[in-house]
Structure 1
Amino acid sequence: MTAQPLPILGGMSAEEFLQDYWQKKPLLIRNACPEAGSLMEAEELAGLSLDDTIESRIILERSPIDWELKLGPFDNKLYKNLPPTHWTLLVQAVDHHVPAVSNLLEAFPFIPSWRIDDIMASFATKDGSVGPHFDYYDVFLIQADGQRRWQLGQRCDDQTPLLPNLGIRVLKDFQAIEEWIVNPGDVLYLPPGIAHYGVALNNCMTYSVGFRAPSEHEILSDFVHHSSLHQNQDKRYSDPDLLLQENPGWISPQAVDRVQEILQNMVSDRSQIEIWMAGYLSQTKYEPQPEPPEEDYSGNDVLDLLAENYSLHREESSRLVYIADNQNHPEIFFINGEQLEILPITEPLVLFLCQHRYYDPAQLSIYCRSPDSLALLTRLLNMGVIYFEEDQFQN
């Protein structure tokens, strides 16, 4: 990637951002995303919170030490009974349900796509907040509507005290160091562990682009599970050099060495780590999997629709990753946790599909001059991983 200025970074290059800010220090970018205000209305967000398949919650502040958490799905009656101020609605994975919000992710090509978690949307009434807190992951906070005062504080970790007996994580001691008023279109980047406290100055909407940061426990647990499924089940502990022990209850250093060797062998196979990572990191965040179309497409159907310039979009919850050789030629393609066999001639198509979420039919037509690439695209369409939109493509 060249050192070109990126709008989401206020004209800064990706290289400069990654070197100076990523996981190091906060950054406020004024008017970096002016289109955010037109993506969805607060009423649409509230409508998503009525769906029992969508994760949502409402946080009410009664005092700086008294907070109430309500878990969705909600109903219209609850909204009618909420107070006029001091509450926030949060809805997870809005990008999975609103294509226009999903397209925000196109602004972050400088972060590996497998690191992206989801986009949470929050609507806050005047003085609404979720309290001073910190996250274990990076986040870009995109102000869509209204204004919010953000205060940034100290660095925190898992030893930082929280207020007790609350359903949410609120810092016991927040020490404000700097403060900003953010307006529609402004973007605030926060690295992990930075205490922050946002309070709505009026009714406002914010998108939080969060990034995955699996814990070491999660990594170890899932990798061990993966390894247990792929190891030779009949291969067992052995000790042909066993020596007579003075006490049979003793676990000797030689026995510990042997078990350590078994465990080290499990994690020494780099190819297995790659396969596990691709499967684990491409899993969808929520079930169910993408729905296939009512009728399968044929290759000719696909070519006809591409020729008619119909837009294509990646299904919003789907994750596409690949493992490549040292020349970055894709060798193994994973979609939503499942491995998909690919041929070398489909390499340009795979790279294009992984790089974008919204696809130019003219570009896809070029790739589909190869029958194998056409077959792969048709397969993905019939899996529901990619779909044709009703409108024609517009740059």
Structure 2
Amino acid sequence: MSSKPQAVLGGRSAELFLSEYWQKQPLLIRNAFPEIEQLIEPEELAGLSLDDSVESRIILERSPVDWELRHGPFTEKTFKNLPKSHWTLLVQALDHQIPAVADLLEAFQFIPNWRTDDIMASFAPVGGSVGPHYDYYDVFLIQAHGQRRWQLGQPCDEDTELLPNLPVRILRDFVPTHDWILNPGDMLYLPPGLAHHGVAENDCMTFSVGFRAPSDQEIINDFVHYLLAKSNQASRYTDPDLQVQANPGWISHAAVEKVADTLQRMVSDRAQITSWMGEYLSQTKYDQNPEPPEDDYPEAEVKELLHDNLSVRREESSRFIYTGDPNNPQQLFINGNPMDIPPMTQSMILYLCKKRHYNPANLSMFCETPENLKLLTRLLNLGVIYFEEDRFVDEEPFQE
């Protein structure tokens, strides 16, 4: 990663941000995304919440100690009956619905792709809020429309008291230490565990770029299931050195050591851990499967469409990650599925994993190699990447 200053980080380098701010302290960056208002209108966000395939919520504040949580999908009548103030609409995984929102993720390439969760959008009229709270993960809050006042408070953990008997997590005590109003294009980074409270100054929309932070319990649970699926039933506990015991009810120290050695061997196999991480961390957020095209593309048509400069995108919900060396991938994982890397395709795979919106001219050059053309055609027919109807325009408005 270059130490070049990045506009999205306020002129700081990625190295400086990671060493001084990431999981350490908050950072306010003014005008990080100057064109952000063009991406989506509040009415479009409300429209998405009517779709039963989109996760959405509405949080209403009746008083500081009285909150209501509603789950979508909603109806037009829902919005007509809402009060004029003090409510918030939350729509999860907006990047799965709108390609231009998904493109925002390319601005955060200084963080590994597998750490990305999704981009949530929140709309609120004046006074709208989800209350003072804290998150277990890192988040970048991008103001997309209107103004929101953000107050930051104390560090929190699992022992921090919450208001009881509420459907949402609201801090019992909130002690503000910072107070900022964000305008469209401004971005606020928050490390995990930091109390914060955002309140709409007027009709406003905020994008929350969240990052995955699996709990120890989630890691253990999934890894154990992976081990069970891969385990060899013929491999059993053995004790050819068994000794006579004074009492058969005793579990001997030797038996404990044998079992400990078995467990240690299973959890210390780096190759196995790497393979599990590839499968686990590339799983889609909602276990949804991208839709393949109605008819499979033949390789000749793929070459023709690339030469016609048709824009190519990664399917918005799909996750691409690889293992091996940074510049020499050895295995590709897409949406929880391992894929072998054919010879001569490593460079194209690096390109596909780094970007989300692909230049067809670059893909055409890769596809001069038959192995690359075959792999690209396979990915297109799986639906994990797709051709758009429009021709490619290399604008890259959110790059450094």
Relative to the length of structure 1, the TM-score reads 0.98
Matched-pair identity in %: 64
Shift of 1:29: 0.1
User: Is residue 148–residue 202 contact of structure 1 (8 Å, CA) maintained in 2?
Assistant: yes
> Which residue does the alignment assign to 2:329?
330
Shift of 1:264: 0.3
Shift of 1:88: 0.1
Shift of 1:286: 0.9
C-alpha separation in 2, matches of 1:12 and 1:187? 14
The 3-state SS of whatever aligns with 1:275 is helix
What letter corresponds to residue 203 of structure 2 in structure 1?
A: N
User: Is residue 143–residue 185 contact of structure 1 (8 Å, CA) maintained in 2?
Assistant: yes
> Which residue does the alignment assign to 2:201?
201
C-alpha separation in 1, matches of 2:249 and 2:59? 55
User: Is residue 57–residue 90 contact of structure 2 (8 Å, CA) maintained in 1?
Assistant: yes
C-alpha separation in 1, matches of 2:24 and 2:7? 21
The 3-state SS of whatever aligns with 2:181 is strand
How does 1:129-278 map onto structure 2 within 5 Å?
Answer: 129-278=129-278
C-alpha separation in 2, matches of 1:171 and 1:242? 57
1:149-196 CA deviation, whole Å, 9 max, x = no partner? 100001011111111101111111111111111110000000101000
> Which residue does the alignment assign to 2:345?
346
What letter corresponds to residue 189 of structure 1 in structure 2?
A: Y
Shift of 1:249: 2.5
> Which residue does the alignment assign to 1:57?
57
Shift of 1:22: 0.6
> Which residue does the alignment assign to 1:289?
289
C-alpha separation in 2, matches of 1:247 and 1:81? 74
The 3-state SS of whatever aligns with 1:303 is helix
C-alpha separation in 2, matches of 1:94 and 1:101? 7
5+ long unaligned stretches in structure 1: none
> Which residue does the alignment assign to 1:379?
378
What letter corresponds to residue 282 of structure 2 in structure 1?
A: S
5+ long unaligned stretches in structure 2: 395-400
1:330-363 CA deviation, whole Å, 9 max, x = no partner? 1101110111122230011000000000000111
C-alpha separation in 2, matches of 1:7 and 1:372? 38
1:217-258 CA deviation, whole Å, 9 max, x = no partner? 111111111111112112111222222333332222222211
User: Is residue 331–residue 344 contact of structure 1 (8 Å, CA) maintained in 2?
Assistant: no
User: Is residue 153–residue 195 contact of structure 2 (8 Å, CA) maintained in 1?
Assistant: yes
> Which residue does the alignment assign to 1:360?
359
The 3-state SS of whatever aligns with 2:266 is helix
The 3-state SS of whatever aligns with 1:259 is helix
User: Is residue 278–residue 322 contact of structure 1 (8 Å, CA) maintained in 2?
Assistant: yes
Relative to the length of structure 2, the TM-score reads 0.97
Instruction: Kindly report the root-mean-square deviation, in angstroms, between the aligned alpha carbons of the 2 structures.
Output: 1.0
Shift of 1:375: 0.6
